[in-house]
Structure 1
Amino acid sequence: MKPEAGVELRARAVETPRLRQRVGLAGDRAAAEVVLLIHGNLASGRCWEDTQRALASRSRLLVAPDLRGYGGTEAKPVDATRGLREFSEDLQALLETLGLTGRRLHVVGWSLGGNVAMQLVIDRPAWWRSLTLVASGSPYGFGGTRGPDGRPCHPDFAGSGAGATSPAFIECLRRGDRGDASPRSPRGTVRHLLFARSFTPPPAIEELMIDGMLETALGDDHYPGDVQPSANWPGFAPGRRGVNNALSPKYLDQSVIVDVEPKPPVLWIHGPEDAIVSDCSVSEPGGQGARGLFKHGGRAAWPGADVHPPQPMVTQLRAVLARYAAAGGTVREESFAGCGHSPHLERPEEFRALLSGFLGARA
């Protein structure tokens, strides 16, 4: 898919009533159709640059901001007790500041960005012509739940929040480690988690994703957030600050998207080789326990699936989208065979063709 002649990608800083936000723009600023592209955790809006170049035109503007605390956007604190509303309200303010809210709006979100996109639809359902979820997280957040209906494994939601983040990985981020000596390094994480095992990212993509990780604001107010101890396995519960706590099911339940009106059509794109968002994630304590990967570090061993099973993230999202469809919405699910956590980067041509067709049918 070739970009339209004359379309350029440009970045600018936008001062909104909430914060200073870096945003990448491609296409005509006067275009009637606007596509908001939301990046994932430990990334930036630059992960969408190739998508922007391919799909932007004189009639379609693609907008790829950096979320608060990521890339070039101001690192204001994240109040985790509000779930993902901080990010949703930031993006609402951005679109209003840019004068885009009266256009034909579509929202596309990858991973964490998928959850932010769902929050935008929950908060402003009438704004959106469509919602596209790309390897999106579960509507019940990340960690600490069981079953398709997202019931908590423990009353305090132990096993979710910032405590699930590897201290060794955080230390690599603090050092700005770009080496490949450790699987816990940013480079090791990109190679072993972001993509299917069979996929080798082009060097430029690998460096871009490492840049996004190293540009992430760190600390209790940002990534990953503060940690609370718990008497329940695995010994930690969500804190009240920072992005990974905002993803805890203690504060995030997006199954309410079933009740929004109007209901924008949904396209869900994912890959069966996704190691991060799956029914047995290598990044979630229950999944780590079931796979024999949980590192004790003085904590008790995995108590088994009866006490703390792997979170069935894909099953949970599929169940909520089935309810969305039963309530009158339109849902299309596409699984890219052999693909991992990053369909837009692993299978760019297939991804762009699918997304372009979906958007075009709703223009």
Structure 2
Amino acid sequence: MKTSTRLVQTSRLNTFVREAGDPSAPVLVLVHGNVSSSVFFDALIEELSDTYRIIAPDYRGYGGSERKTIDATRGMADFSDDVVALLDALEITEPVDLLGWSAGGNIVLQLAIDHPHRVRRLILEAGGSPYGFGGTHGLDGTPTSEDFAGTGGGTANPDFCKRLAEGDRGDDPASPVTTLRNFYVKPGFTFDRETEQRYLDGMLDTTLGDDIYPGDSTTSQNWPGLGPGTTGTNNALSPKYLNQGSFADLDPAPPVLWIRGADDQIVSDTSMFDLAQLGKLGAIPGYPGEETCPTQPMVSQLRTVLEGAGEFTEIVYEDCGHSPHLEHPERFVADVRAFLD
């Protein structure tokens, strides 16, 4: 079915939404990842809208949605509350299925924790650790330092941020399109030109600033010398504010399908975006060593929480990076349908 777009005024902000499917069909909400927008779901919406009512919003300050400061001290709750406000505005009161990609996985986990009666089932696609991004170790998300050094707004590559702000469409090493090619998917995977430019548009629609992406930062006496601020997406993902271990305490927790790529470099037990891992590889100077600053086992942490919650299915796609729905679309659609049907 044809996808339509519109702005929906909710009680929290004006939200840009992609929609498709029969309004009376079961609702599936698609929540995108960081430095992206709902445009990354275009093909998936087309494939699934014959069976489901698809709703795919953009985050605040991302894509076509209104710019509103992200209160990082609430973890991912500003984002998840925005989704609930959208459901309210659309007069959807029954429990819905939600698919969260990357940081979107943290958003749908938070929604399930705070609003369990609104959730039927969850699909986590390359979902982030329930203990935030960076700065923790062990399966229980033990903080590596008291001030959560090495997490938050200061962890984003400043050259990448500058290029995002400038709308850079070149292919230098730190450019958005190079990041798309090398990290959003497994290196070697290629998009056709039109599709790649559409996804690049979605990345470039990210609002840059302390209020949205990447967020503000503070200095730290601990390596690597920076810590989380209080606003923006990357701070909302800091373990200083984000701890979703309580998902395992839900009674009952919703059934979960977890799909991830075996070659994911973003969410991984050896993530190339974890400053501890980069320090270990010599990419960031002054690394104090594995004993002082271990890498974060992101995948293992998520698995541990899901095992504690109960019913979940983990599917690992070989020859796949951070975006199974883009890299193996037919298999992904089949697995989603099998789970939801």
> 2:41 — aligned with what?
48
Give 1:205 deviation, angstroms. Answer: 3.1
**Deviation digits for residues 103-125 of structure 1, max 9, x if unmatched?**
x5100000010000101111111
Give 1:88 deviation, angstroms. Answer: 0.8
Runs of 4+ with >3 A deviation: none
Contact 1:34/1:106 (8 A) holds in 2: yes
Q: Percent identity?
A: 48
> 1:291 — aligned with what?
281
> 1:340 — aligned with what?
321
Q: Distance in 1 between matches of 2:260 and 2:281?
A: 22
Q: Distance in 2 between matches of 1:172 and 1:78?
A: 22
> 1:171 — aligned with what?
162
Give 1:212 deviation, angstroms. Answer: 1.5
> 2:15 — aligned with what?
21
Contact 1:78/1:86 (8 A) holds in 2: yes
Give 1:54 deviation, angstroms. Answer: 0.6
3-state DSSP of counterpart to 2:184: coil
Q: Distance in 2 between matches of 1:234 and 1:351?
A: 38
3-state DSSP of counterpart to 1:37: strand
Which residues in structure 2 correspond to 1:1-363 (within 5 Å)?
7-31=1-25, 33-57=26-50, 59-102=51-94, 104-180=95-171, 182-294=172-284, 296=285, 301-325=286-310, 330-360=311-341
Give the total of aligned pairs. Answer: 341
Task: Give the gaps of 5 or more residues in structure 2.
Answer: none
Give 1:318 deviation, angstroms. Answer: 0.8
Q: Distance in 1 between matches of 2:111 and 2:267?
A: 21
Give 1:289 deviation, angstroms. Answer: 1.4
Give 1:198 deviation, angstroms. Answer: 3.4
3-state DSSP of counterpart to 1:278: coil
Give 1:291 deviation, angstroms. Answer: 2.4
> What TM-score, normalized by structure 1, do the two folds share?
0.92
Q: CA RMSD in A?
A: 1.0
Contact 1:143/1:311 (8 A) holds in 2: yes
Contact 1:201/1:346 (8 A) holds in 2: no
User: Which residue identity does 1:55 align to in structure 2?
Assistant: L
> 1:4 — aligned with what?
none
> What TM-score, normalized by structure 2, do the two folds share?
0.98
> 1:3 — aligned with what?
none
Contact 1:141/1:249 (8 A) holds in 2: yes
Q: Distance in 2 between matches of 1:247 and 1:137?
A: 9
Give 1:290 deviation, angstroms. Answer: 2.0
Give 1:355 deviation, angstroms. Answer: 0.2
User: Which residue identity does 2:195 align to in structure 1?
Assistant: I
Q: Distance in 2 between matches of 1:127 and 1:62?
A: 16
**Deviation digits for residues 199-252 of structure 1, max 9, x if unmatched?**
223323321221111101111111000010000001001001111000000000
User: Which residue identity does 1:54 align to in structure 2?
Assistant: E
**Deviation digits for residues 36-85 of structure 1, max 9, x if unmatched?**
0000000111111111111112x520110001110000010001101011
User: Which residue identity does 2:218 align to in structure 1?
Assistant: Q
**Deviation digits for residues 251-290 of structure 1, max 9, x if unmatched?**
0000110111332100000011001000111111011112
Q: Distance in 1 between matches of 2:290 and 2:120?
A: 40
3-state DSSP of counterpart to 2:221: coil
Task: Give the gaps of 5 or more residues in structure 1.
Answer: 1-6
3-state DSSP of counterpart to 1:193: helix
